[in-house]
């Protein structure tokens, strides 16, 4: 198996605080890799470093063997690295269809087309519709995003990332805040992601992590504490101690 | 084709193009604008000013309403266009359309260069930077009085006939037709731009910059492009002013001009292109009417209206015509348009 996403010695300091400390991570092609850790372990900082929202103080990031450390956020997306957000980051004024059409049009390079109307790009409309159907959002595609119920906004959050047709997808707590009775829909979507898309999942929900991931990295204090296959991590007494804790995990 | 889909599902391509389709009120507005030529033959000078102000406000709407870039110095580009067109005519090239092209190019260059200053920073920074650029150009024009005429203004502009056929007359007939046609043509272009994928990406950048970048949009190049286009529009508005009044003064760069155009957009509303036209009409007619009643205190009433518009809320005022339209549709039995947007 080849490595698609790799960091070496990735470090980020905020003043005296080391939020990410010498993280070297290797994610294999097609992997379902989970990143777990207690609050404040630096998971979000790591995601922000990987996607280029912030720049590292030291270290490198490679995507499919190419150094992307200095690339802008949008350039990384065009190279095939997409993400979702822990707190919905959508476009409240756009319709559901426009939202996904936007991502499709950027991916196919139509984002600078300024003369023909968006709807006259038939291929974009059709692909966007296909993605929405896949996410069971076809019936609300004419609605404004702002009026969607939270659970469906959460689905759109993932659909928008998928519309970028990523080779590596970073899922930041996809089921965060979703009511219990709607969780299964999110989980089914996550489980049904295309096998050739490599997924790095940041998650608090241990049921989701253990049912979904094939490999887990445990982040503690900004550094990788331990990494390994799911069953090994589940059995690791040190992990139980620092992360799962006694009776901490319900 | 999609007969297997349950219920009557809207065609996605049609849904996406819905905002780009012409509606009856839109057509009515342009027919009314053209009819003004025959209906108000004595008001054409005023209506010419309305058309130019509308174009200027349309320009601001492109950056404010669609890209979320606030500006308190939009007169910078208006002024550059006005001086470019004025200077060209003064030095012997009297063809109006050539002058307009030069005004557009000059303002576009200044707009492109200054666009990099507004890329970064908050709304407050942008307000200050745009204000600063306009002040700089004002003083530059003041200082270069050998070229611009300084505080005396640029005298001795004589315009040639439009298309070599129509002389500019004292009643503003040629001026009105000229300005309104230019406004209409540029409106058509703006309409295409905002409904294109490029326009969609601007709305995304305005709506959520973080996510816009996360779907691969290079927000800075998009902002540069629309800022430059808006500058071209403002420059053409300035050029039209210079040509139809055959005079340019430092006033074209003045702060009140930037503030007025912002006011026009507040009155008319942003982000649907017609705000500039409706706002310009209200603003200019109100100004004209109030100045007739209370020549010294007309700004008091403008201020009052502005405060009321903001306090009552645009949504409630805007909701009125939409409610009426809905009622009309129900009465005429036409199905409501799919995917109506706010």
Quick check: A117 and B215 CB within 8 A? Answer: no
**Mean of the per-residue pLDDT values of chain A:** 89
HEC readout, chain A? CCEEEEEEEEEEEECCEEEEEEEEEEEECCCEEEEECCCCCCHHHHHHHHHCCCCCCEEEEEECCEECCCCCHHHHHHCCEEECCCCCCCCCCCEHHHHHHHHHHHHCCCCCCCCCCHHHCHHHHHHHHHHHHHCCCHHHCCCEHHHCCHHHHHHHHHHHHHCCCCCEEEEECCCCCCCHHHHHHHHHHHHCCCCCCEEEEECCCHHHHHHHCCEEEEEECCEEEEEEEHHHHHHCHHHHHHHHCCCCCC
A147 interfaces chain B, CB cutoff of 8 Å: no
pLDDT at B322: 65
pLDDT at B66: 93
CA neighbor of B239 nearest in space, from B51, B96, B109: B96
CA neighbor of A114 nearest in space, from B327, B130, B191, B116: B191
Restricting to B residues 159-198, those with a Cβ less than 8 Å away from any Cβ of A are 192-193, 195-198
Which residues in chain A have Cβ-Cβ distances shorter than 8 Å to B337?
Answer: none
Among B196, B215, B339, beta carbon nearest to A114? B196
Per-residue pLDDT of chain B (342 residues; tens, 9 = 90+): 444 445 567 888 888 888 888 989 899 999 999 998 998 888 889 999 999 999 999 999 999 999 989 999 999 999 999 999 999 988 888 889 999 999 999 999 999 999 998 887 788 889 999 999 999 999 898 888 878 887 778 888 888 787 877 888 878 889 999 999 999 999 999 999 999 999 999 999 999 999 999 999 998 999 999 999 999 999 999 999 999 998 899 889 989 899 899 989 988 888 899 999 999 999 998 888 888 887 777 778 878 888 887 777 666 565 666 666 666 667 666 544 444 444
B200 interfaces chain A, CB cutoff of 8 Å: yes
Which residues in chain A have Cβ-Cβ distances shorter than 8 Å to B15?
Answer: 95, 97, 119, 125, 141-142
Mean pLDDT (whole number) for A163-168: 93
Shortest distance between the Cα of A2 and any Cα of chain B, in A, equals 25
Which residues in chain B have Cβ-Cβ distances shorter than 8 Å to A107?
Answer: 216
pLDDT at B8: 63
Residue of B nearest to A51 (CA): B214
Which residues in chain A have Cβ-Cβ distances shorter than 8 Å to B119?
Answer: none
B120 interfaces chain A, CB cutoff of 8 Å: no
A33 interfaces chain B, CB cutoff of 8 Å: no
Sequence-separated (6 or more) residues with CB below 8 Å from residue A184? none
pLDDT per residue as tens digits for the range A57-95? 999 999 998 999 999 999 999 999 999 999 999 999 999
ipTM: 0.90
Quick check: A126 and B199 CB within 8 A? Answer: no
Residue of B nearest to A82 (CA): B214
The answer to whether B113 touches B170, Cβ cutoff 8 Å, is no
Predicted model pTM: 0.88
Quick check: B215 and A102 CB within 8 A? Answer: yes
pLDDT at B321: 64
């Amino acid at each position: 198996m080849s490595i698609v996403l790799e960091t070496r010695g990735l470090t980020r300091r905020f003043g005296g605080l080391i939020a990410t400390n010498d993280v070297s991570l290797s994610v294999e092609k097609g992997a379902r890799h989970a990143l777990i850790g207690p609050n404040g372990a630096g998971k979000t900082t790591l995601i922000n470093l990987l996607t280029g929202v912030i720049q590292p103080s030291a270290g490198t990031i490679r995507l499919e063997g190419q150094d992307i450390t200095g690339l802008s956020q949008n350039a990384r997306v065009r190279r095939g690295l997409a993400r979702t957000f822990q707190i919905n980051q959508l476009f409240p004024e756009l319709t559901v269809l426009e939202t996904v059409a936007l991502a499709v049009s950027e991916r196919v390079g139509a984002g600078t087309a300024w003369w023909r109307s968006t709807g006259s790009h038939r291929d974009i409309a059709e692909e966007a519709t296909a993605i929405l159907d896949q996410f069971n959002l076809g019936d609300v595609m004419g609605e404004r995003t702002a009026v969607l119920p939270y659970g469906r906004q959460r689905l759109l959050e993932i659909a928008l990332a998928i519309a970028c047709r990523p080779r590596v997808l970073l899922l930041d707590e996809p089921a965060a805040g979703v009511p219990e009775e709607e969780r299964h829909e999110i989980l089914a979507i996550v489980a049904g992601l295309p096998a050739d898309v490599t997924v790095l999942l940041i998650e608090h929900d241990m049921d989701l992590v253990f049912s979904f991931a094939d490999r887990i990295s445990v982040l503690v204090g900004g550094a990788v504490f331990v990494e390994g296959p799911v069953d090994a991590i589940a059995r690791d007494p040190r992990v139980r101690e620092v992360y799962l804790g006694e009776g901490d995990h319900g | 084709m999609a007969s297997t889909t349950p219920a009557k599902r809207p065609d996605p391509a049609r849904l996406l193009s819905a905002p780009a389709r012409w509606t009856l009120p839109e057509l009515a507005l342009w027919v009314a604008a053209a009819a003004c030529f025959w209906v108000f033959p004595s008001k054409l000078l005023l209506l010419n000013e309305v058309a130019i102000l509308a174009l200027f406000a349309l320009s601001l709407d492109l950056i404010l309403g669609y890209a979320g870039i606030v500006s308190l110095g939009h007169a910078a580009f208006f002024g550059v266009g006005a001086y470019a067109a004025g200077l060209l005519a003064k030095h012997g090239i009297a063809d109006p359309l050539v002058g307009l092209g030069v005004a557009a190019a000059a303002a576009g260059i200044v707009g492109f260069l200054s666009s990099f200053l507004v890329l970064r920073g908050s709304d407050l920074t942008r307000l200050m930077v745009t204000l600063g650029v306009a002040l700089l150009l004002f003083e530059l024009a003041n200082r270069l009085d050998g070229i611009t005429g300084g505080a005396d203004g640029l005298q001795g502009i004589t315009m040639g006939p439009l298309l070599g056929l129509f002389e500019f007359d004292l009643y503003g007939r040629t001026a009105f037709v000229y300005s309104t046609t230019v406004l209409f043509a540029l409106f058509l272009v703006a309409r295409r731009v905002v409904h294109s994928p490029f326009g969609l990406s601007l709305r995304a950048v305005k709506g959520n910059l973080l996510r816009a970048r996360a779907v691969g949009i290079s927000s800075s190049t998009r902002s540069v492009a629309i800022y430059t286009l808006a500058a071209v529009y403002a420059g053409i508005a300035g050029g039209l002013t210079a040509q139809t009044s055959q005079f340019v003064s430092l006033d074209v760069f003045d702060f009140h001009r930037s503030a007025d155009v912002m006011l026009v957009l507040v009155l008319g509303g942003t982000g649907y292109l017609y705000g500039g036209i409706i706002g310009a009409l209200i603003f200019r007619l109100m100004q004209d009417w109030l100045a007739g009643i209370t020549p010294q205190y007309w700004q008091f009433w403008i201020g009052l209206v502005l405060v009321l518009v903001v306090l009552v809320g645009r949504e409630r005022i805007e909701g009125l015509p939409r409610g009426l339209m809905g009622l009309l549709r129900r009465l005429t039995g036409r199905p409501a348009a799919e995917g109506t947007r706010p």
